[in-house]
Chains A and B, each alone.
Chain A
Amino acid sequence: MNQRTAERTGGRAGQRVGERVGLLRTEAGSYLLLVGAAFRSAAQYRVSLVLYTLVEMAGAALDLATISIIFAHLSDLDGFSLAEVAFLYGTSALAFALAEAMAGPLDQLGWHIKEGRMDAVLIRPVSVLVQCATMDFSPQRLSRIVQPVAVLAVSVAALDVDWTPARVALLPAMIACGTLISISLAVGIAAVLFVAPDSSLAVSAVRQGSALATQYPLTVYGRRAALLMTVVLPIAFVNWQPALFVLDRPDPFGLPAFTRFLSLPVAVVCAAAAATAWRSGIRHYRGVGG
């Protein structure tokens, strides 16, 4: 390869990266535009807005009520105190609530496909993912983060750990990574709906399952399931692994200490895998003749 061709290919690669960044910025712009429109449309119906906000807050309370009832009978669950389980619950619920607030309930996608609304989505000049994420966007859903934040604040105050700068810094980082993993899970699983549009319930159950799994200490599920959720599925990295560091606990399954800091790389890999699954889902889409 002579120098000129090398330069040219280098230039082309640079141009391609530039195009990619430009495209990303355009898509982010469309996302914000559509989210803004959803906010303005919700503001038109004030009573409805308040009611739905309360409904969404109640929805988040169900799992917390379950944990409270369990701890009304027990002093600790598998060696984890109420404050520690509340910390796990708070970080998990916050990550999943943020993910759902941002990407919307993607399990609605199956219904849109069955109703024949997907064809129109595919011909619009905005990415399918941005449109799907904003299609059922409801500002009310943001209220779901209120209760996990409160639980997290209470548990952080009640935890008996030494709040070193590393611990304090890891807390927001683990929530950001948990949110990214959760969005990737939602997008990756929703891709199934392009092939099996009737499985919305199954898709939402998988999301509920991963949300539920992260609310309790992973030791509850036994060694095999816990290792499955660490090595094969990224679920342990939503909150469990970084939480072990914050809670200052040794890994009950004897995994090396560095796994606690793997949430970010795991989140990036998940996002890439989800993007691939989503693209392949779109390629396999068959219209219903809408």
Chain B
Amino acid sequence: MVISDLASPVAAPARPFGAGAVGCARMWCAVAAAAARRLLCYRATVAASILSSIILIVLRGHVALAVWAERPDLAGYDSTAAITFTVIGQSLVTTFAVFGGMIDMPWRIRNGSIEVDLVRPVGFQRWWLGLEVGRAAVYFASRAVPAAVVGAFLFDLRRPASAGACAAFGVSLGLALLVSFGLRYLVGLSAFWMTDARGVQAVSALVMMFFSGAVLPLALFPGPLGTIAGLAPFGAVVQVPMDLYLGTADGGALRALAFQAVWAALLLLAARALTTAGLRRLVVQGG
């Protein structure tokens, strides 16, 4: 496999990518690139995934159209904004793995192959982030963009509010990936404490899906539910990027980006602390 060749410290010279921070960054880029190349091997999967994204886009798009036909200007979006939100938000779902998972740490902890990840010459958390960045890049290019393009043919979509909005949207996509990674990585870490992390995974996937804004814009959530949804980190994954795209972010673009950045930093720091704690608990039988 591409990845194991790359990261094997035995087969390769001690520091194949040079010493220091630059070498580290280059190695990390190689990890991400290898993760991306591995995913590109499965062509039929890409086609199937685009098709399924399109199915969900068409369904959710039509539901949104019907809702906004009944109540134009509901929750501060006009009909075109609502459909743009739904279609582009839905096409980003696979890229940010809003349905959870994609980090197969629990399985590797269970069967012991996690020990291989511990001897890699790149930090544990950074290794998983590298895989995720590579995966998300491939998913963005091969799933999100085609799905959004098809969505643009099927529905009347709005372009980004301005060049600034477009730039903010781009930055917020990166931050959304960090938040989504942080959340899913924490869920994955729970496997260090539980032999069977599937329950946590299932609940977290539901919560993330519902509160990310991918199902319905969070502005529709009534009362306290809306307040919770607005403060929780899940909104940083779909709701905030889409608000930046449409220029409907509450309190301006900078505040929205700061919201994402703060959650990303908090989650990654928590993940770091728990990684150390989890690795201390790890017992691999045999080996």
Which of B49, B59, B202, B215 is within 8 Å of A199, CB to CB? B49
Q: In the complex, A278 Cα to B256 Cα: how many Å?
A: 49
Which of B48, B94, B210 is within 8 Å of A62, CB to CB? B210
> Which A residues are in CB contact (< 8 Å) with B206?
58-59, 62
> Which B residues are in CB contact (< 8 Å) with A198?
42, 44-45
- How many residues does chain B have at the interface if contact means C-beta atoms less than 8 Å apart? 38
Q: In the complex, A90 Cα to B124 Cα: how many Å?
A: 45
Give the contact-size bracket for chain A: 35 or more
Q: In the complex, A73 Cα to B42 Cα: how many Å?
A: 43
Q: In the complex, A213 Cα to B61 Cα: how many Å?
A: 11
Which of B42, B56, B199, B215 is within 8 Å of A55, CB to CB? B199
Contact A196 B52 (CB under 8 A): no
Contact A196 B42 (CB under 8 A): yes
Contact A220 B62 (CB under 8 A): yes
Known: A202-B51, A209-B52, A209-B55. A69 touches B66 (CB 8 A): no
Q: Is B251 an interface residue (CB 8 A)?
A: no
Q: In the complex, A213 Cα to B66 Cα: how many Å?
A: 13
Contact B49 A201 (CB under 8 A): yes
Interface of B is mostly: helix
Q: Is A37 an interface residue (CB 8 A)?
A: no
**Min CB–CB distance B80 → chain A (angstroms):** 17
> Which B residues are in CB contact (< 8 Å) with A202?
45, 48-49, 51-52
Known: A78-B66, A206-B52. A225 touches B45 (CB 8 A): no
> Which B residues are in CB contact (< 8 Å) with A208?
56
Contact A77 B59 (CB under 8 A): no
Contact B216 A205 (CB under 8 A): no
Q: Is A253 an interface residue (CB 8 A)?
A: no
Nearest A-chain residue to B61, judged by Cβ = A221
Which B residues, 220 to 263, have Cβ-Cβ distances below 8 Å to chain A?
220-222
Contact A77 B67 (CB under 8 A): yes
**Min CB–CB distance A188 → chain B (angstroms):** 14
Contact A205 B44 (CB under 8 A): no
Contact A206 B70 (CB under 8 A): no
Known: A70-B216, A73-B74, A78-B66. A205 touches B53 (CB 8 A): yes
Q: Hey, what's the 0/1 contact readout for A181-213 against B, CB within 8 Å counting as 1?
A: 000000000001001101101110110110011
**Min CB–CB distance B38 → chain A (angstroms):** 10
B residues sitting closer than 8 Å to A (CB atoms) are 42, 44-45, 48-49, 51-53, 55-56, 58-60, 62-63, 65-67, 69-71, 74-75, 94, 99, 196, 198-199, 202-203, 206, 209-210, 215-216, 220-222
User: Can you list 6 A-B pairs, Cβ within 8 angstroms, ordered by A?
Assistant: A199-B42, A201-B52, A203-B52, A213-B59, A220-B62, A225-B62
- Top 5 A-B residue pairs of the complex, sorted by shortest distance between their CB atoms: A205-B52, A202-B48, A196-B44, A199-B48, A209-B55
Known: A62-B210, A77-B70, A206-B55; 10 extra A-B contacts, CB below 8 A, are: A58-B206, A65-B210, A74-B70, A78-B66, A78-B70, A195-B44, A198-B42, A212-B56, A213-B59, A220-B62
